[in-house]
Amino acid sequence: MSIDRLSKPALQKLLSGKVNEAAICVIKFYSNKCPFCHKLSSPYKDIAENKEYSDLHFFAFNIADYPQAEKIIGFNGVPTITLVKTGFNTPKIRVLKDPEEPNKETWYHLNDIKEFIEKEK
């Protein structure tokens, strides 16, 4: 599956509970100025293209498009990986915790992302 870039209105719709269809969305929040974010692109794409996750929707969102999202969702800095379950009046939003020992290139370890998705989906 491909990774779609999420617009501010689409993110606001996801977070407000206005998406009626049940879906699981994985969102990578990034900044164009973040070296970790750039290097995380390839591993994130590999996960999105894994057949094991074909029932999930993968997105990327540039935090510069809606800086308030950081406070609304409750994370601090990028890259950040979130999982949003839609189809409820209030969407279920989970944030992958920062790693205790970050990857020196991508911040998150690939297995941490996979385990987070498996646990939360």
Please name the residue that has the structure tokens 């997105």: 59
pLDDT of residue 89: 83
Domain residues for the domain of 17 are 3-120
User: Of 34, 32, 35, 40, which is closest to residue 3 (Cα–Cα)?
Assistant: 40
Structure tokens at 56: 């999930």
Supply the pTM of this predicted model: 0.96
- Give the number of domains in the chain: 1
Percent of the chain with pLDDT over 70: 100
Task: Round the average pLDDT of the chain to a whole number and report it.
Answer: 96
pLDDT band, residue 84 (cuts 50/70/90): very high
Q: Look at residue 84 and give its three-state secondary structure.
A: strand
Is the pLDDT at 1 greater than 90, yes or no? no
- State the Cα–Cα distance between residues 121 and 117, nearest whole angstrom: 6
The CATH number for 40's domain is 3.40.30.10
